């Protein structure tokens, strides 16, 4: 059997940039914006990216919890915390301006901010609908657009959006509105991936299943046991397990992945 090899002249750009060892994810010295960094998945992402050597701009509304996140991060002097409300579009632009002014560039944006109140359908009013939209979807669009404007200058960027298994299933126990906008995050991810592919910006999403965060604590202990038993792995994810998935998608190992949704749900939903 004849074997064929592609002959190359010199080393192409991808060969030169690809990490040289299995432990080199290409994250060291990256400038990374993480929203929703005050607790849960967002906090875990900020901590793990800091451990990998990134410079973090941690964003959330809860100043006290943000400072707790910072206290748990390695090389605290390299990071910045911004106490701000993503529901205001002008704040999305300001976050990006501060990041660029402080560090000179933006390499990765992790859109992890989200809000959820388990409100019965009959109690959902327009103000609640608007609140969920503002944080869970609208802010992602405007923050991603602003960050991409900076990423384009270096022809490199990673945007990772946190959606939910509820985007496929319709949600769990009074979370229809939340799941509706998480479905929108998937569509937004695919649209941004097409829009920015020519600028070297990869856009992907992670769809976590049940994760041990404050959102799941809103369920009664009995209901929580019931739904956990429906997961093939028979447990919830740890926030760090979602964070490690984000680390991969932001790395150079994921250089040919864009427009994808990574399911991290313990087999809870297989598609």
Mean pLDDT of all residues in 136-153: 98
Task: Kindly state the average pLDDT of the residues 54-68.
Answer: 96
Predicted confidence at residue 127, as pLDDT, reads 94
Count of Cβ atoms closer than 10 Å to residue 201 Cβ:
23
What mean pLDDT comes out for the span 140-166?
97
Is the pLDDT at 10 greater than 60, yes or no?
A: no
Rounded to 5°, angle at Cα 126 from 121 and 130: 105
User: Mean pLDDT for the chain?
Assistant: 91
DSSP state of 87: T
Res. 4: pLDDT tops 50: no
The pLDDT of residue 174 is 84
Q: Measured in Å, how far apart are the chain's first and last C-alpha atoms?
A: 38
| pLDDT > 70? residue 11 | no
Ramachandran area for residue 4 (φ above 0: left; ψ -120 to 50: alpha; else beta): beta
Instruction: Extract the tokens encoding 22.
Output: 């299995």
Beta strands in 88-231 (DSSP E): 108-111, 157-162, 201-208
- In the chain, the percentage of residues whose pLDDT exceeds 70 is 92
Arithmetic mean of pLDDT, 6-34: 67
Burial class (CB in 10 A: 0-12, 13-18, 19+), 61: middle
Under the banding of pLDDT at 50, 70 and 90, the label for residue 12 is very low
Pair 215, 239: CB distance under 8 Å: no
Residue 6 pLDDT > 80, yes or no? Answer: no
Question: What separation in angstroms does the CA of 15 have from each of 120, 251, 257?
Answer: 53, 15, 16
Question: Is pLDDT above 60 for 5?
Answer: no
Residue 89 has φ and ψ, to the nearest 5°, of: -60, -40
If you average pLDDT over residues 13-21, what whole number do you get? 53
Q: 166 pLDDT exceeds 90?
A: yes
Q: Which helix or strand (DSSP H or E) is residue 215 part of? A: none
- Specify the pLDDT at position 216: 81
DSSP 3-state percent helix, strand, coil across the chain (nearest 5): 50, 15, 40
What's the pLDDT score for residue 116?
87
Q: How confident is the model at residue 8 (pLDDT cuts 50, 70, 90)?
A: very low
- CB 88, CB 138: distance < 8 Å: no
Distances (CA, A) of 250 to 108, 164, 229: 7, 18, 32
CB 53 within 8 A of CB 27: yes
* Residue-level pLDDT at 7: 46
pLDDT band at 220 (very low <50, low <70, confident <90, very high): confident
Look at strands 261-264 and 108-111 and give their pairing.
unpaired
Domains, the chain, in order of start with CATH, read 25-262 (3.40.50.720)
What residues are labeled active site?
178
């Amino acid at each position: 059997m004849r074997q064929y090899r592609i002959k190359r002249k010199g080393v192409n750009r991808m060969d030169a940039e690809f990490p040289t060892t299995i432990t080199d994810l290409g994250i060291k010295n990256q400038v990374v914006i993480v929203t929703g960094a005050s607790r849960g998945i967002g906090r875990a992402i900020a901590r793990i990216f800091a451990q990998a050597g990134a410079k973090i701009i941690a964003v959330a509304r809860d100043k006290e919890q943000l400072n707790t996140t910072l206290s748990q991060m390695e090389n605290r002097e390299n990071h910045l915390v911004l106490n701000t409300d993503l529901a205001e579009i002008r704040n999305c632009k300001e976050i990006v301006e501060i990041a660029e002014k402080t560090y000179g560039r933006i390499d990765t944006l992790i859109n992890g901010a989200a809000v959820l109140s388990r409100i019965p359908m009959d109690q959902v009013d327009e103000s609640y609908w608007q609140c969920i939209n503002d944080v869970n979807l609208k802010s992602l669009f405007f923050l991603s657009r602003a960050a991409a404007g900076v990423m384009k200058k270096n022809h490199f960027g990673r945007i990772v959006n946190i959606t939910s298994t509820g985007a496929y299933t319709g949600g769990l126990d009074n979370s229809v509105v939340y799941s509706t906008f998480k479905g929108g995050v998937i569509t937004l991810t695919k649209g941004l991936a097409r829009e920015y592919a020519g600028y070297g910006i990869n856009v992907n999403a992670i769809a976590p299943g049940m994760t041990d965060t404050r959102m799941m604590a809103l369920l009664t202990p009995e209901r929580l046991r019931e739904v956990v038993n429906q997961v093939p792995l028979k447990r919830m994810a740890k926030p760090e397990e979602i964070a490690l998935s984000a680390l991969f998608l932001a790395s150079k190992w994921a250089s040919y992945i864009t427009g994808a949704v990574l399911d991290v749900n313990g087999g809870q939903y297989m598609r």
